[in-house]
Amino acid sequence: MKYNFRDNIENMEGYTPGFQPSDPAAIKLNTNENPYAPSPRVFEALGKLSALDMQRYPRVFWDKFREVAARLHGVEPEMIIGGNGADELLTMLVRCCCDSGRPLAYPVLSYSLYPVLATIQDCPKIETPFPADYSLPAKLADTGAALTILCNPNAPTATFISIEDIADLAEEIDGVLAIDEAYVDFSEDNCVRLLKRFNNIIILRSMSKGYSLAGMRFGYGLGAPRIIEAMIKVKDSYNVNVATQAVATAALADQDYFRQNVKKIKIQRDRLTHELRALGFDVPESHTNFLLARTKRLAAREIHEKLTQHNIYIRYFDIEGLQDRLRISVGSAEQNDALLSALQDILK
Ligand SMILES: Cc1ncc(COP(=O)(O)O)c(C=O)c1O
């Protein structure tokens, strides 16, 4: 039987996720997960799920989550959309906005999923290089793209663009501006206040990082009701399962726990930055829960491989601009101890 797929699907590579070691003792610092457990309220919420909750379809519009998120961010519930991770929200946006005559624009280097989504949608990609200091690329405002995605703080560079610069971009741009704030829980500022000024922006949040829910898969968007309505048209009918809705709502409501957790990670981030610099790495200030460390003493690929032999996983990207760098998620104090001691050994 002969068959083939659309040319773009036949010819594409697909997104490459980080390695998932099966050994629970492995020190996993390769996918920017949170090293600490989610809020205890998450487990209470899971325990309260009834048989009927499971028998019936989940809420189509994530009502309870929307209420909690609207209160937290000071917006209307209609300005919030729930998704199966921020990744699903990105897919919805590209589906809504882009086609062969309606390009997707984004700066490079940034999140490697953006070009993959453009290829799947078969829309043109407009890639605008960041300047050396990773400030906003001036040309991003002039692309004429139907959708522009700006990751802030940016991955994998961990850098941050000021909210006023993003406001200027929103003012100048034609089309929708999506601000991917997957890592914003670890930075000092965010774009939520821009929602009052602009009707062409949507902010994407992930609960995989600051809220320790990567395995549950939940992300949400905050944006102009018109953008949310368009995204709802293209979403899966019941895109977030009942357990995830309950867990995400409970985690978001427990802001005290969230803040303590984030504080611990920021302390570890500062410590890891300091100690990696002492080991000879060039480590720019991070506004995220990971560091992009540049190695000078040994090839990044080699360090990555040797760490794997110590059962420690970090991320190496064999792509131009990143071949001398390692992306390291900030772990718990104990995980970071193990990483630093293995690095000392390797670099001896
Ligand atoms: C920049 C960026 N955006 C979005 C996501 C997706 O997050 P989620 O786990 O909520 O799908 C990630 C995941 O690592 C990311 O790095």
pLDDT digits (tens, 9 = 90+) for 236-252: 999 999 999 999 999 99
Domains and CATH numbers, the chain: 7-37+256-347 (3.90.1150.10), 40-254 (3.40.640.10)
- End-to-end Cα spacing for the chain: 58
pLDDT of residue 18: 86
Conformation bin of residue 99: beta by default, left when phi > 0, alpha when psi is -120 to 50: beta
Confirm or reject: Cβ of 151 under 6 Å from ligand 1.
Answer: yes
Q: Are 30 and 304 in contact (CB under 8 A)?
A: no
Q: Whose CA is nearest to atom 3 of ligand 1?
A: 182
Average pLDDT (27-36) is 97
% of residues, the chain, pLDDT over 90: 95
Confirm or reject: Cβ of 111 under 6 Å from ligand 1.
Answer: yes
From 113, 184, 207, 244, mutation site for ligand 1 pocket: most ligand atoms within 8 A of C-beta:
113
Confirm or reject: Cβ of 292 under 6 Å from ligand 1.
Answer: no
For the stretch 56-99, pLDDT in tens is 999 999 999 999 999 999 999 999 999 999 999 999 999 999 99
From 113, 206, 247, mutation site for ligand 1 pocket: most ligand atoms within 8 A of C-beta:
206
For the stretch 40-53, pLDDT in tens is 999 999 999 999 99
Element (H, E) at 253: helix 242-253
State CA 163 to chain mean position distance.
18
For the stretch 109-140, pLDDT in tens is 999 999 999 999 999 999 999 999 999 999 99
What gap in Å lies between CA 187 and CA 184, rounded to an integer?
Answer: 5
pLDDT of residue 199: 96
Among the atoms of ligand 1, which is closest to the Cα of residue 151? 1
Mean pLDDT of the chain: 96
Residue 153 confidence (pLDDT) above 90:
yes
Q: Are 15 and 319 in contact (CB under 8 A)?
A: no
Among the atoms of ligand 1, which is closest to the Cα of residue 207? 10
Residue 348 confidence (pLDDT) above 90:
no
What would the two tokens of residue 135 be?
Answer: 């400030």
Residue 1 confidence (pLDDT) above 90:
no
Q: Are 80 and 104 in contact (CB under 8 A)?
A: no
pLDDT of residue 32: 97
pLDDT of residue 297: 79
Among the atoms of ligand 1, which is closest to the Cα of residue 219? 10
Q: Whose CA is nearest to atom 11 of ligand 1?
A: 85
**DSSP states along 82-112:** EESSHHHHHHHHHHHH-BTTB-EEEEESS-T
Q: Provide the pLDDT confidence category of residue 332 given band limits of 50, 70 and 90.
A: very high
Q: What angle do CA 210, 159, 20 make, to 5 degrees?
A: 50
- Could you tell me the distance, in angstroms and rounded to a whole number, from the CA of residue 327 to the centre of ligand 1? 15
From 30, 149, 152, 208, mutation site for ligand 1 pocket: most ligand atoms within 8 A of C-beta:
208
Nearest 5°: phi and psi at 151?
-90, 120
Q: Are 219 and 252 in contact (CB under 8 A)?
A: no
3-class secondary-structure state, position 170: helix
3-class secondary-structure state, position 29: coil
What gap in Å lies between CA 203 and CA 256, rounded to an integer?
Answer: 23
For strands 27-28 and 312-313, give the pairing: parallel
Q: Are 191 and 320 in contact (CB under 8 A)?
A: no
pLDDT of residue 147: 98
Give the relative orientation of helices 86-97 and 225-234 as an angle to the nearest 10 degrees. 90
- Identify the burial level of 148 via C-beta atoms within 10 angstroms of its C-beta, where 0-12 means exposed, 13-18 middle and 19 or more buried: buried
pLDDT of residue 16: 86
Residue 296 confidence (pLDDT) above 90:
no
Cis peptide before 58 (omega within 30 of 0): no
Contacts of 226 (CB under 8 A, 6+ apart): 199
